[in-house]
Amino acid sequence: MLSISGVHTFYGSIEALRGVDLEIKAGDIVSLIGANGAGKSTLLMTVCGKPRAARGRIVFDGEDITIKPTHEIIASGIAQSPEGRRIFPRMSVLENLQIGATTADPAHYDRDLERVYDLFPILKERSNQRGGTLSGGEQQMLAIGRALMSRPRLLLLDEPSLGLAPKVVQQIFRTIKEINEEQGVTVFLVEQNAYHALKLAHRAYVMVTGRISLSGSGADLLANPEVRAAYLEGGH
């Protein structure tokens, strides 16, 4: 569904991605783990065209999206829940969701809204409340729900567990699984919380300083001694 080949991305003269190859099959949850500053978020943002890949190719459903402007990439069926959630704090929950539906066909807006409210009932309760007054976990749910409002085929999630309590993290990951299994949305998950991300993943990649250093099924990587030593045994 999404194939990234030989992608290099620069911030000025700093090379953040040094030739990344990555494949996402339709229907999968694919996790990308790695340390701070490895380039995980940069890869997600490069898929969305901001910053743009300096070299390499990104193909989504047979279409080269490497040099498309961001709004066209989003319109073609990719949605992103950005790092740090970035909900609109002064706008209500419902308005946040409506803005998520910008690129979608208004004909199925009502159904999409219902679907998001089914996934996150708390958002329905809070629909008239300002986004900024939600708790961290609720804001994350709003960010994911907002992304789903555009009816994506591929959902990009950047660190959905960031700064959340363990119990909330579990709930978020359960929902991600639900989105994938019941609604058939392909998920590309970028995480520092390696344990959860690998457990959930059909396929996983490990990124070190701008390159993919390891790949395999989620279970394989979870059992891999190198991965365990570097990403798992500190925290879990």
- The only residue of 25, 55, 71, 108 in contact with other proteins, by rule CB under 8 A: 71
Binders of other proteins among 90-129, rule CB under 8 A?
A: 90-92, 94-95, 98-100, 102-103, 124, 126-129
Count of residues that bind other proteins according to CB under 8 A: 35
For the chain, strand residue ranges (E) read: 2-11, 14-24, 29-34, 55-60, 63-64, 78-81, 154-158, 186-191, 203-208, 211-217
Quote the least distance from Cβ 32 to other proteins, whole Å. Answer: 17
x/- letters, 27..56, toward other proteins (CB under 8 A) = ---------------------x-x------
How far apart CA 219 and CA 101 sit, in angstroms, is 35
Contact call for residues 147 and 100 (beta carbons, < 8 A): yes
Which range in 7-15, 23-31, 80-88, 161-169 contacts other proteins by CB under 8 A? 80-88
The region of 23-31, 76-84, 177-185, 213-221 touching other proteins under the rule CB under 8 A is 76-84
Angular region, 190: left φ>0, alpha ψ -120 to 50, beta rest: beta
State which of residues 87, 164, 176, 197 lies at the interface with other proteins (CB under 8 A): 87
18-26, 56-64, 84-92, 168-176 -> range binding other proteins (CB under 8 A)? 84-92
Shortest CA distance to 194 belongs to which of 147, 226, 168, 155? 226
Determine if 150 is a binding residue for other proteins (CB under 8 A): yes
Q: What are 79's two structure tokens?
A: 């949605």
Query: Taking contact as CB under 8 A, which single stretch among the options 3-11, 65-73, 169-177, 218-226 is the one that binds other proteins?
Result: 65-73
Q: How far is the CB of 99 from other proteins (least distance, A)?
A: 5
Distant-in-sequence, close-in-space partners of 207: CB < 8 Å, separation ≥ 6: 20, 32, 33, 34, 38, 39, 40, 43, 213
- 52: enclosing H helix or E strand: none
With CB under 8 A as the contact rule, the residue among 6, 37, 89, 121 that binds other proteins is 89
**Distances from the Cα of 67 to the Cα of 14, 32, 59, 143, 193, angstroms:** 20, 23, 10, 26, 31
Task: In whole angstroms, give the CA distance from residue 138 to residue 166.
Answer: 14
Site residues (vs other proteins, CB under 8 A):
48, 50, 69-71, 73-75, 79-80, 82, 86-92, 94-95, 98-100, 102-103, 124, 126-130, 133, 146-147, 150
